[in-house]
Amino acid sequence: MNVPKILTLGGLVVILVLLALLFSSWFSGGLSPTENRDTLYQLSTIDALQQGVFDGIQPVGEIKKHGDFGIGTFNALDGEMIVLEGIVYQAASDGSVVIVPDTITTPYTTVTFYREDFSLTAEEAMNFSTFSKVTGTYLPTENMVYAVRIHGMFPLMKVRSVPPQQKPYPTLSEAVENQSVFEYTDISGWVVGTFTPSFFEGINIDGYHLHFISDDRQKGGHILDFTVPAGADIGYDITPDFTLVLPTSGDFTTVDLSEDLSGQLIGVEH
């Protein structure tokens, strides 16, 4: 008759131990009671970047606390950022790709913890323009933020990277005039990026913003165009929460962000 009481007491002890470990993990930084993995964490705005606000304001070590998946750039606009499986890569203008140290800073980035919610299958091969139009009709809503991930063998992958800029910084449109463009065929790798709705204009890019990194981590950049092969799975992580961190000093505090730059952005992105 005493056995059930002993088992009950033992179960209570186990629960108390587990709770102690959980709270210990929270307060030691292993977990956060308020951590939300369905959040897109963004540093600065795309309009600020377009206006030449290129100084890095946050180290990538801090960025990694807010996501293991995403895209961005580096201090002085030095190359393209790809964050995949918690590793931050830099696709430089000379065509090389390196893992960057946590101390390197970024003026603009978007990251999240990627956890796929659903996927679409490409019924036919699509270039960037067709991909944007076709997949848009299958999204649950275009008024939501999504992290986007594709893995496959891409018949065409056209990417760019921009060399580091010197002060006084030019605008983004002027900087990309000196971009390096690389075109690859039959290359296997990952497409990493976001889809943001049109009402994010000025804050982020309307629609898809995608970067690429090859499976061997030797090639990558900002995607100008590509061919998504038929049969490719296009993964989406719905991220309904959004955190925007703005610079508190430097060029951001004085730059004029009242101008509509959406027309210029189309040329810059594609």
pLDDT tens by residue, 12-55: 333 333 334 433 444 344 444 445 789 999 999 999 999 999 99
DSSP E strand boundaries for the chain:
39-43, 58-59, 69-73, 80-84, 87-91, 97-99, 105-106, 109-112, 118-121, 146-161, 180-196, 207-214, 220-226, 233-238, 241-245
Looking at residue 270, what is its pLDDT?
63
Looking at residue 36, what is its pLDDT?
73
- Which token pair is 212? 């690429």
Given a cut of 70, the residues of the chain with pLDDT beneath it are 1-35, 265-268, 270
State the average pLDDT for the chain.
Answer: 88
How much is the pTM?
A: 0.86
Looking at residue 105, what is its pLDDT?
98
- Indicate if the alpha-carbon torsion angle 174, 252, 241, 62 is positive or negative: positive
Strand partners, 58: 106
C-alpha angle 77-82-85 in degrees, rounded to nearest 5: 150
3-class state of residue 82 by DSSP: strand
Looking at residue 154, what is its pLDDT?
98
Looking at residue 14, what is its pLDDT?
36
